[in-house]
């Protein structure tokens, strides 16, 4: 964005401090525009006709340096790009990179459906939500428009995930668009040879389009400029992903160069970037090596500026790290990830159920909660206010103490003697050293659980209910 | 959807759209009916500006008008920026889509980063006989003038891996343990194995049995293990304590003494123990110090400052360990902490211009790396852990390599191999035949 202080944004706002946006003052709202935590449209008064000009000006000034591109429609829409910084600590990265897994038009039907289902359904619970995969890339190996269209149709019959239609043959792409044109797929790709026809298709169907110029940034920029000139802004840049050796190093440099130029204001190249780690499979025959190398390349370009990537391996040992590294990079570093301190029910606890103590660090809380609920353990789960710090660091740093546990019980109105038959708390294994203090402070029995909450089910079998004293 | 529009309506239509000066005075003759197919052909930004319906028609008409020589391109350019309430206003400079026949030539340019004016301190570990030691090879860390593998400047030294060896059998993930069962009771053999079979650049001997809560091995006995390891291998070594803040200074002092002149890395000085003793041991016997803090840039500055100013540790003897959290378990903090430290160093913060080391082995603490399967029923199958573990260590290490980390403390042979492969590839050491990706879409993989 072109603004760097709230004051600059303030000048364009109505200045009435009316509070419609949920902020007390226009200045407060302006600061949220600058850190991108609120949208300009949250100020309803400025949508009024009389502010039309100011609205338009401010909106243009607030637009992110890297354009945002949408792929797909409806619930599964994927947004990529939209970044303003080169380092996540300077603000945060927006729109996590989209992970697209491939299918191809020479697959037999049963395999195709099974693969799409696997991609569609893969999920892992993490910090209160599921990590999932985003897109399907349909590759034309046959170069036969009909086969391609049939494959696209079949994929669409199995999932609503957004699509990337991949072919360098405009006829094949057209056949795909005839089937999927109203689903706003990304078409891949225009290159130096086919760009005119692909441009016609992108215009005709009004879909985003990828530009491919392997290791030729002049050409890539040229294509982008040309497409912009023809009125297309929904562009994705693929500078080529060379999977090995010095070429991979060059690819890495290309990604850095494109993003740096874009953030520094070269509008012609300020678009989301695509990586194709799938090319790792062109370098390795053995599937485990290929899969490993693909994951490695995907990780490099998740960290350094890849906004969308096309991948092949759907082995869990590839998917899990790919999903986690993007979560790592795209987590907003400004937000303390916490849950509200409380004593919550997990399942349907009774007076005989255990009371499990943990912290209000979201990663800790949700890990513990899902370990309990997914194993069908009915209990009370207490999130102690540790300022959003996990168990071990909170014990070390003094945010998880006996006094905090006591305060938490009081504030939640949870009287152990009244609510339970056992007057017992279960502390995390990593908080074992608090046992005595908590016993004294709360006046309850304290049991020490295992170090990892994944082990609570086994621990319960041996230790719950507690022996009567 | 197909609409019939008369060309003669064009002027009227544009009139309704506002001031289109370029078209003023232009009259279009004729009364031809045109088919305008729906669904495509419109510039989305324009569609916002003009309202969808009209835009579709006008864009097509504009194309035709263009061919007829009417200056509609400018007309549209003038109109861009007319925001409709509630809609995103288009950015300036959008022109009507006109089919181009030639690519617009263009030159890509980008500048180097100007504010990276400072060099990361070089630190050499290990001493050969010429320098009073007995190592056959040495390792030099640091010397960077830009972020790792960037094009701004060449990175002078590649990344190195030091592999973990323990002075007693410890609990390990199964996938790791498999590789060490034959040497688990013999640190010297263990050290030999990682150098000979697993291509370790260095060896870390962790004296964890010295912990009073474990075996309380005496400092003297522990020092013997260090001597054995120095005998067994000729690469530089890292000497690690047990992490017990009371015992570590004593253990590291003794170890430093028996390793005099070998330029080992003493791990670690930290704020919660008597770092001055460790610094002194390093100074007295010619070693480097690992300055370890827990994910906090200011604590890192403080400790480095104390080592330099209070304890007189020379700059060329300091390596930092800002703490490694595993993928999924705080790697976001660890990554950003390292990236910030490195950027600050490059921009001249003298308290942070040191090479960095990562306890990448921490990745094996993440349940994804060692558990047989997910403890959560809702999760998809996690697949075989034999493959999950090493890649967890790889991705953890690789991320930190990109944040500026120089030295990796690692455990699994496959992880070591792959982390070396990718970091040396990005560094530029790997010559491979070019793979032709121009037609990757059609590849049978
Ligand atoms: C990330 C991290 C931080 C982050 C914390 C961010 C946050 N929001 O929590 C930051 C940078 C702030 C931090 C700071 C510090 N940290 Co720190 N930190 C870590 C790190 C790398 C990961 C911790 C983590 O998030 N684990 C993941 C979460 C999910 O684990 P968890 O909360 O423990 O939950 C698990 C278990 O406890 C269990 N569980 C949870 N609840 C329950 C309940 C029951 C009943 C049961 C049975 C089980 C159970 O299951 C959960 C899932 O496995 C560890 C090292 C490491 N690799 O483990 C060091 C570590 C925890 N930190 C440590 C220290 C010393 C500190 C500092 C004191 C450093 C300093 N000198 O300033 C500060 C303290 C800050 C403060 N408290 O104010 C030490 C603790 C040493 C010790 N044992 O005393 C560690 C172990 C590093 C080390 N080896 O020295 N740290
Ligand atoms: S809604 Fe708009 S005018 Fe009202 S206070 Fe918020 S920013 Fe100001």
Condensed to tens digits (0 to 9), the pLDDT of residues A300-345 reads 999 999 999 999 999 999 999 999 999 999 999 887 678 999 999 9
Distance CA(B47)–CA(B256), nearest Å, equals 73
How many helices, marked H, and strands, marked E, lie in chain B? Answer: 14, 12
Q: Is there a single domain that holds both residue A45 and residue A84?
A: no
Contacts of A396 (CB under 8 A, 6+ apart): none
Q: Is there a single domain that holds both residue A114 and residue A249?
A: yes
Q: Is there a single domain that holds both residue A263 and residue A411?
A: no
Which of A330, A353, A379 marks a domain boundary? Answer: A330
Q: Are A296 and B394 an interchain contact pair (Cβ–Cβ within 8 Å)?
A: yes
Q: Is A13 a member of any domain?
A: yes
C-alpha distances (whole Å) from B78 to each of A318, B21, B27, B68 are: 50, 9, 19, 20
Report the CATH number that the domain containing residue A435 is assigned in CATH: 3.40.50.11600
Residue A338, SS3 per DSSP = strand
Q: Is there a single domain that holds both residue A293 and residue A177?
A: yes
Query: Which ligand minimizes its atom distance to the CA of A16?
Result: 2
CA distance B357 to chain A (A): 19
Give the per-residue pLDDT at B96: 53
- How many Cβ pairs within 8 Å bridge chains A and B? 287
Give the per-residue pLDDT at B97: 60
Q: Which residues of B touch A181 (CB under 8 A)?
A: 39-40
Q: Are A232 and B43 an interchain contact pair (Cβ–Cβ within 8 Å)?
A: yes
Counting from 1 in the atom list of ligand 1, the atom nearest the Cα of A392 is 61
Question: Which of A332, A334, A355, A396 most suits a substitution to test ligand 1, by most atoms within 8 Å of the C-beta?
Answer: A396
Give the per-residue pLDDT at A334: 81
Distance CA(B341)–CA(B323), nearest Å, equals 12
Encoded tokens for A202: 């992108």
Q: What is the per-residue pLDDT across A31-87, written as a single tens digit (0 to 9) for each?
A: 999 999 999 999 999 999 999 999 999 999 999 999 999 999 999 999 999 999 999
* Residues with a CB atom less than 6 Å from ligand 2: A 13-14, 16-21, 23, 26, 29, 43, 45-46
C-alpha distances (whole Å) from A65 to each of A61, A81, A225, B298 are: 10, 9, 16, 31
Residue nearest to atom 4 of ligand 2 (CA): A18
Residue nearest to atom 2 of ligand 2 (CA): A43
Give the per-residue pLDDT at B8: 42
Q: Is A135 a member of any domain?
A: yes
Q: Is there a single domain that holds both residue A281 and residue A296?
A: yes
Q: Is there a single domain that holds both residue A370 and residue A406?
A: yes
CA distance A120 to chain B (A): 11
Range of the domain at A49: 6-62
**Bridge partners, residue A80, by sequence:** A69
C-alpha distances (whole Å) from A162 to each of A182, A293, B174, B389, B407 are: 11, 26, 39, 31, 41
Contacts of B298 (CB under 8 A, 6+ apart): none
Q: Is there a single domain that holds both residue A40 and residue A182?
A: no
Percent of chain A with pLDDT strictly greater than 90: 93
Report the CATH number that the domain containing residue A32 is assigned in CATH: 1.10.15.40
Which of A330, A357, A386 marks a domain boundary? Answer: A330
Q: Give the chain A residue nearest B295 (alpha carbons).
A: A393
Q: Is A336 a member of any domain?
A: no
A18 close to A30: Cβ distance less than 8 angstroms: no
Q: Give the chain A residue nearest B444 (alpha carbons).
A: A141
Q: Is there a single domain that holds both residue A386 and residue A299?
A: no
Q: Is A390 a member of any domain?
A: yes
Instruction: Measure A53 CA to ligand 2 centroid, in angstroms.
Output: 16
Q: What is the number of domains present in chain A?
A: 3
**Bridge partners, residue A380, by sequence:** A345, A355
Give the per-residue pLDDT at B20: 37
Distance CA(B65)–CA(A356), nearest Å, equals 74
Q: Is there a single domain that holds both residue A442 and residue A360?
A: yes
> Which residue is listed with tokens 């072919």?
A167
Q: Which residues of B touch A282 (CB under 8 A)?
A: 435, 437, 440, 443, 445
C-alpha torsion sign, points B165, B170, B171, B177: positive
Percent of chain A with pLDDT strictly greater than 70: 100
Q: Is the distance from the beta carbon of residue A358 to the nearest atom of ligand 1 less than 6 Å? A: yes
Q: What is the per-residue pLDDT across A409-419, written as a single tens digit (0 to 9) for each?
A: 999 999 999 99
Q: Is there a single domain that holds both residue A362 and residue A278?
A: no
Distance of CA B314 to the CA centre of its chain: 28
Encoded tokens for B423: 């970091």
Q: Is the distance from the beta carbon of residue A405 to the nearest atom of ligand 1 less than 6 Å? A: no
Distance of CA A174 to the CA centre of its chain: 31
CA-wise closest residue to B80 among B8, B3, B18: B18
Q: Is A42 a member of any domain?
A: yes
Q: Which residues of B touch A269 (CB under 8 A)?
A: 108
Q: Is there a single domain that holds both residue A293 and residue A324?
A: yes
B267 close to B238: Cβ distance less than 8 angstroms: yes
* DSSP letter assigned to residue B352: S
Q: Are A242 and B45 an interchain contact pair (Cβ–Cβ within 8 Å)?
A: no
Residue B222, SS3 per DSSP = helix
Q: Is A469 a member of any domain?
A: no
Q: Which residues of A touch B40 (CB under 8 A)?
A: 181, 203-206
Q: Are B83 and A55 an interchain contact pair (Cβ–Cβ within 8 Å)?
A: yes
Instruction: Measure A390 CA to ligand 1 centroid, in angstroms.
Output: 5
Query: Which ligand minimizes its atom distance to the CA of A48?
Result: 2
Q: Is there a single domain that holds both residue A266 and residue A156?
A: yes
Pick one of 2.60.40.10, 1.20.1260.10, 3.40.50.720, 3.20.20.20 as the CATH number of B123-427. 3.20.20.20
∠ CA A242-A246-A252, nearest 5°, is 60
Q: Are A374 and B377 an interchain contact pair (Cβ–Cβ within 8 Å)?
A: yes
One pLDDT digit (tens) per residue for chain A, 469 residues: 889 889 999 999 999 999 999 999 999 999 999 999 999 999 999 999 999 999 999 999 999 999 999 999 999 999 999 999 999 999 999 999 999 999 999 999 999 999 999 999 999 999 888 999 999 999 999 999 999 999 999 999 999 999 999 999 999 999 999 999 999 999 999 999 999 999 999 999 999 999 999 999 999 999 999 999 999 999 999 999 999 999 999 999 999 999 999 999 999 999 999 999 999 999 999 999 999 999 999 999 999 999 999 999 999 999 999 999 999 999 998 876 789 999 999 999 999 999 999 999 998 999 999 999 989 999 999 999 998 899 998 998 899 999 999 999 999 999 999 999 999 999 999 999 999 999 999 999 999 999 999 999 999 999 999 987 5
Q: Which residues of B touch A249 (CB under 8 A)?
A: 149, 425-428
CB count within 10 Å of CB B31 equals: 9
Report the CATH number that the domain containing residue A222 is assigned in CATH: 3.20.20.20
Q: Which residues of A touch B91 (CB under 8 A)?
A: 60, 63
Peptide bond between residue A189 and the one before it cis (omega within 30 degrees of 0): yes
Instruction: Measure A331 CA to ligand 2 centroid, in angstroms.
Output: 29
Q: Give the chain A residue nearest B431 (alpha carbons).
A: A245
Q: Is A158 a member of any domain?
A: yes
**Bridge partners, residue B289, by sequence:** B266, B318
Would the pLDDT of B85 be above 70? no
CA distance A145 to chain B (A): 14
Considering only the beta carbons, identify the residue of A47, A247, A292 that sits closest to B86.
A47
Q: What is the per-residue pLDDT across B182-237, written as a single tens digit (0 to 9) for each?
A: 999 999 999 999 999 999 999 999 999 999 999 999 999 999 999 999 999 999 99
Give the containing element (helix H, strand E) for B248.
Answer: helix B248-258
For residue A253, which phi and psi values (nearest 5 degrees)?
A: -65, -40
């Amino acid at each position: 964005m072109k603004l760097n202080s709230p004051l600059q944004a303030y000048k364009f706002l109505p200045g009435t401090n009316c509070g419609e946006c949920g902020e007390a003052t226009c200045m407060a709202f302006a600061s949220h525009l600058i850190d991108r935590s609120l949208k300009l449209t949250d100020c309803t008064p400025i949508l009024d006709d009389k502010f039309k000009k100011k609205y338009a000006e401010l909106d243009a000034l607030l637009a992110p340096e890297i354009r945002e591109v949408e792929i797909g429609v409806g619930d599964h829409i994927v947004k990529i790009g939209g970044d303003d910084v080169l380092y996540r600590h300077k603000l945060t990265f927006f729109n996590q990179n989209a992970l697209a897994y491939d299918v191809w038009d020479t697959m037999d039907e049963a395999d195709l459906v099974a693969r799409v289902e696997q991609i569609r359904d893969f999920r892992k619970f993490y910090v209160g939500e599921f990590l999932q995969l985003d897109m399907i890339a349909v590759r034309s190996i046959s170069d036969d428009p009909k086969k391609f269209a049939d494959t696209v149709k079949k994929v669409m019959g199995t999932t609503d995930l957004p699509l990337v239609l991949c072919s360098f043959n405009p006829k094949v792409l057209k056949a795909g668009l005839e089937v999927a044109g109203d689903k706003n797929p990304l078409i891949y790709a225009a290159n130096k040879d086919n760009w005119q026809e692909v441009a016609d298709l992108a215009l005709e169907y009004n879909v985003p389009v990828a530009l491919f110029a392997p290791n030729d940034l002049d050409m890539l920029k040229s294509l982008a400029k040309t497409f912009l000139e023809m009125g297309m802004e929904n562009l994705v840049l693929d500078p080529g992903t060379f999977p090995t050796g010095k070429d991979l190093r060059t690819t890495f440099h290309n990604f850095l160069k494109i993003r740096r130029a874009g953030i520094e204001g070269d509008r012609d190249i300020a678009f989301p970037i695509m990586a194709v780690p799938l090319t790792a499979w062109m370098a390795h025959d053995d599937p485990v090596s290929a899969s490993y190398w693909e994951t490695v390349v995907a990780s490099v370009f998740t960290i350094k500026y890849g906004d969308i990537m096309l991948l092949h391996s759907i082995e869990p040992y590839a998917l899990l790290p790919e999903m986690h590294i993007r979560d790592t990079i795209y987590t907003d570093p400004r937000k303390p990830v916490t849950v509200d301190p409380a004593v919550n029910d997990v399942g349907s606890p009774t007076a005989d159920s255990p009371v499990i103590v943990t912290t209000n660090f979201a990663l800790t809380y949700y890990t513990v909660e899902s370990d309990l609920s997914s194993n069908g353990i009915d209990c009370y789960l207490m999130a102690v206010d540790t300022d959003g710090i996990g168990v071990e660091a909170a014990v070390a740093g003094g945010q998880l103490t006996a006094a905090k546990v006591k305060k938490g019980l009081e504030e939640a109105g949870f009287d152990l003697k009244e609510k339970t038959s056992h007057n017992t708390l279960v502390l995390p294994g990593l908080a074992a050293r608090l046992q005595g203090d908590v016993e004294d402070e709360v006046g309850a029995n304290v049991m020490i659980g295992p170090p990892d909450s994944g082990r609570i089910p086994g621990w319960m079998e041996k230790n719950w209910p507690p022996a009567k004293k | 959807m197909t609409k019939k529009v008369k060309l003669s309506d064009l002027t009227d239509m544009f009139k309704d759209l506002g001031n289109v000066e370029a078209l003023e005075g232009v009259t279009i003759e004729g009364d031809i009916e045109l088919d305008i197919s729906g669904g495509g052909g419109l510039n989305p930004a324009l569609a916002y500006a003009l309202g969808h319906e009209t835009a579709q028609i006008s864009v097509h008409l504009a194309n035709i008008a263009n061919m007829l020589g009417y200056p509609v391109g400018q007309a549209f350019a003038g109109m861009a920026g007319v925001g409709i309430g509630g809609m995103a206003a288009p950015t300036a400079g959008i022109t009507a889509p006109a089919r181009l026949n030639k690519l617009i030539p263009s030159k890509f340019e980008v500048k180097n980063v100007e504010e990276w004016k400072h060099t990361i301190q070089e630190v050499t570990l290990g001493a050969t006989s010429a320098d009073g030691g007995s190592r056959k090879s040495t390792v030099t860390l640091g010397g960077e003038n830009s972020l790792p593998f960037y094009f701004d400047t060449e990175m002078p030294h590649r990344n190195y891996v030091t592999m973990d060896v323990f002075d007693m059998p410890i609990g390990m993930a199964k996938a790791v343990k498999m590789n060490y069962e034959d040497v688990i009771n013999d640190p010297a053999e263990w050290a030999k194995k990682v150098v000979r079979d697993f291509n370790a650049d260095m060896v870390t001997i962790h004296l964890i049995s010295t912990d009073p809560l474990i075996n309380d091995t005496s400092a003297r006995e522990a020092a013997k293990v260090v001597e054995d390891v120095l005998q067994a291998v000729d690469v530089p070594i890292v000497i690690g304590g047990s992490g017990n803040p009371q015992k570590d200074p004593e253990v590291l002092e003794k170890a430093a003494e028996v390793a005099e002149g070998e330029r080992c890395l003493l791990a670690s000085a930290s704020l919660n123990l008597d770092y001055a003793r460790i610094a002194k041991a390093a100074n007295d016997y010619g070693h480097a110090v690992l300055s370890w803090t827990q994910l906090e840039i200011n604590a890192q500055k403080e400790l480095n400052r104390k080592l330099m100013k209070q304890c007189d540790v020379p700059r060329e003897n300091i390596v930092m360990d800002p703490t490694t959290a595993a993928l999924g378990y705080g790697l976001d903090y660890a990554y950003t902490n390292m990236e910030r430290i490195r950027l600050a160093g490059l921009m001249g913060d003298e308290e942070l211009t040191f090479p960095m080391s990562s306890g990448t082995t921490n990745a094996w603490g993440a349940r994804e790396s060692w558990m047989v399967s997910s403890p959560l029923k809702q999760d998809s199958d996690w697949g075989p852990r034999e493959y999950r573990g090493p890649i967890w260590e790889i991705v953890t290490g690789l991320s930190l390599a990109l944040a500026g980390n120089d030295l990796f403390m690692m455990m699994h042979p496959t992880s070591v191999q792959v982390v070396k492969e990718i970091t040396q590839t990005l560094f530029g050491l790997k010559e491979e035949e070019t793979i032709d990706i121009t037609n990757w879409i059609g590849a049978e993989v």
